[in-house]
Amino acid sequence: MSSTVADALDHEHDDHGPTKGIGRWLFSTNHKDIGTMYLIFSLTMFFIGGAMAMVIRSELAVPGLQFVHPEFFNSMTTMHALIMVFGAVMPAFVGLANWMIPLMIGAPDMALPRMNNWSFWILPVAFGILLSTLLMPGGAPASGWTMYPPLVLQTGDAFPFLIFSVHLMGISSIMGAINVIVTIINMRAPDMSLLKMPMFVWMWLITAYLLIAVMPVLAGAVTMLLTDQFFGTSFFLAAGGGDPVMFQHIFWFFGHPEVYIMILPAFGVVSEIIPTFSRKKLFGHDSMVYAGSSIAFLSFIVWAHHMFTVGMPLTGQMFFMFATMLIAVPTGVKVFNWVATMWRGAMTFETPMLFSLGFVFLFTIGGFSGLMLAIAPADIQYHDTYFVVAHFHYVLVPGSVFAIMAGAYYWLPKWTGHMYNETLGKAHFWLSTIFVNLTFFPMHFLGLAGMPRRIPDYSTQFADFNTIASIGAFGFGLSQLIFVWIVVTAWRGEKATDRVWEGSHGLEWTVPSPAPWHTFTTPPKARIAQEAFE
């Protein structure tokens, strides 16, 4: 047994290229291949979830029910959220982590390559199961991605499949997170101290700890739903002495850190890109690390701000309001540091930089509405309206998704060895930015004017802004096809240099473009490589 393992290990460290055919992908233990698979999977899910968003926006374009029944509409909002959160945004960041963390810290691969393979291949299974619920009697889950009982217990045959797929997503995320932590802690280039790590690596390290801390809690919560439904327990059933509100507490104990799981790696990506295109070092590297850690810590003590209307004692409301407002401080530090990085730099505006700047502007707007939502009495008005929908789409679409796009453009030449089409990239950015605002900005007004979320039809006074939002959504959806075209044709562009960007810095730019299948089989001297760029 041990000899076969040793053989396998030897084989991995062979300098031969990848095996041919489907086996390369099915049994891959190579961080670059797995990273590529994660990214492709994420893009696929982005379009599936996006198609569901198009169903939602079609139905909401004008008042009256035109296309779908209310139950299916609810399934669409539920599935759209689950797919975008667990299928698009999180796997995209794991994909970037797989590709870039070993390259950035000078490691030959991820620390646990076989687990890496597993954590990826669980995902298509999980989402295959989740998508199959669309065909089941009783329809796909329609209780919102928050899965609040008792409503979620009214799900039809899809119920156990929903729970099972959430379990699988959780297992995949936890394995991915363990891999990231072990890689970062144990496999850095010998002279790279923790505080010298690139910001993307730092933010991912924090994210990975958050994942390990909260994904199991979600698994616990959905397990309790399962036993309530099938095994006679009454965790959340009032009739049996349980409490439906308890689910909300447990869910949001997971759910709020989850929000930061989707944004901290985005912070990492833009913290890499802005210095490159400002030709200046990241301002306040250490305070960025501390700010990221504070955000992670605070995320554990603010969960009940999602539940101000649930009936909380005054002291509870006060605590959660103040704690939530505090998050604005470290988040502000991040934004100020990005601006200070640009200040007196020598900026150029290639596509990755444009997406990063779009990120800073629009994420900040999402941050502002977040601050407004923190004010408990005002939140009573905003809660469960389109104002909230506008808020979290601002932090997730021009926030996380723009950062993913920025990262993809930034590292694409390193992955493919060719420059992408810059003109099309810029077009992609400007169309995305215009349409994302057209889609989500009017939602602020809708929410303030009194439109609740998750409704398939609405009163006529909400018609105009809904129409605008729907037009924006279709525009945004179509603009993303440009991205697919750019990626597909990236292999035809001019050859990229090793350093790719004039201002790039860090170990990943010392390896050839495209990055060979095996890199850093002997540990690099990180400091020497860093200084070479200065």
Partner 1 sequence: MHENRSLTGRLLVLAAAMFGFGFALVPLYDVFCEITGFGGRTNATAAVVEEAPDLTREIRIEFMTTVNSYAPFELSSDVSSMTVNPGKMYFATFTGKNLSGENKIAVARPSVAPPAASEHFVKIECFCFESQEFAAGEERAMPLQFIVDPELPDYVDTITLGYTFYDTARAAANNPL
Partner 2 sequence: MIRKSFLSLMGLLATGAAQADWALNMPRGVTELSAETYDLHMMVFWWCVAIGIVVFGVMIISLIKHRKSKGATPATFTHSMTAEIVWTAIPVVILLIMAVPAAETMVKLEDSRDPDISIVVTAYQWKWHYKYQDEDIAFYSSLARPSMDARRKQSGVDPNAVDNYLLDVDRPVVVPKGAKVRLLLTSNDVVHSWWVPDLAIKKDAVPGIVNETWFRAEETGTYRGQCAELCGKDHGYMPIVVEVVEPDAYQAWVDTRKNGDVAVANAAK
Task: List the catalytic residues.
Answer: 80, 109, 145, 172-173, 256, 258, 260, 271, 305-306, 331, 334, 453
Six token digits for residue 265: 């790696």
Helix, strand or coil, per DSSP, at residue 452 = strand
- DSSP class of residue 302? -
Q: Residue 496: name the closest of 421, 406, 397, 394 by CA.
A: 421
Helix, strand or coil, per DSSP, at residue 125 = helix
Size of the chain, expressed as the number of residues it contains: 534
Question: Residue 247, CB half-sphere, CA atoms under 13 Å: how many?
Answer: 24
Q: Is 197 in the site for partner 1 (CB under 8 A)?
A: no
Q: Is 157 in the site for partner 2 (CB under 8 A)?
A: no
Q: How far apart are CA 469 and CA 393, in angstroms?
A: 12
Q: Which stretch binds partner 1 (CB under 8 A): 24-32, 240-248, 337-345, 485-493?
A: 240-248
Site string for partner 2, 427-446 (x = CB under 8 A): ------------------x-
Six token digits for residue 435: 């349409």
Q: Is 478 in the site for partner 2 (CB under 8 A)?
A: no
List the one residue from 106, 170, 268, 456 that touches partner 2 (CB under 8 A): 456
Question: What's the closest the beta carbon of residue 313 comes to partner 1, in angstroms?
Answer: 4
Question: Are the C-beta atoms of 171 and 222 separated by less than 8 Å?
Answer: no
Question: What's the closest the beta carbon of residue 284 comes to partner 2, in angstroms?
Answer: 5
- DSSP class of residue 231? S
User: How many other CB atoms are there within 10 angstroms of residue 168's CB atom?
Assistant: 21
Question: Which of partner 2, partner 1, none sits in contact with 19, Cβ below 5 to 8 A by type?
Answer: none
Q: What is the dihedral of CA 396, 399, 405, 410, to 10 degrees?
A: -150
Q: How many residues bind partner 2 (CB under 8 A)?
A: 96
With tokens 């690390």, the residue in question is 289
List the one residue from 104, 105, 168, 321 that touches partner 2 (CB under 8 A): 321
Select 246 or 434, whichever has its Cβ closest to partner 1.
Answer: 246
Which residues, numbered 293-332, are part of the site for partner 1 (CB under 8 A)? 311-316
Site string for partner 1, 210-239 (x = CB under 8 A): --xxxxxxxxxx-xx---xxx-x-xx-xxx
Question: Which of partner 1, partner 2, none sits in contact with 281, Cβ below 5 to 8 A by type?
Answer: partner 2
List the one residue from 119, 278, 437, 513 that touches partner 2 (CB under 8 A): 278
With tokens 């540990």, the residue in question is 523
Q: Which stretch binds partner 2 (CB under 8 A): 27-35, 70-78, 204-212, 433-441?
A: 70-78
Question: What's the closest the beta carbon of residue 242 comes to partner 2, in angstroms?
Answer: 8
Question: Are the C-beta atoms of 221 and 227 separated by less than 8 Å?
Answer: no
Q: Is 147 in the site for partner 1 (CB under 8 A)?
A: no
Q: How far apart are CA 482 and CA 174, in angstroms?
A: 33
Cα–Cα distances (Å) from 314 to 322, 384, 435, in that order, read 12, 21, 41
Q: Which residues bind partner 1 (CB under 8 A)?
A: 111-112, 115, 150, 153-154, 174, 177-178, 181-182, 185-186, 212-221, 223-224, 228-230, 232, 234-235, 237-241, 243, 245-246, 249-250, 253, 311-316
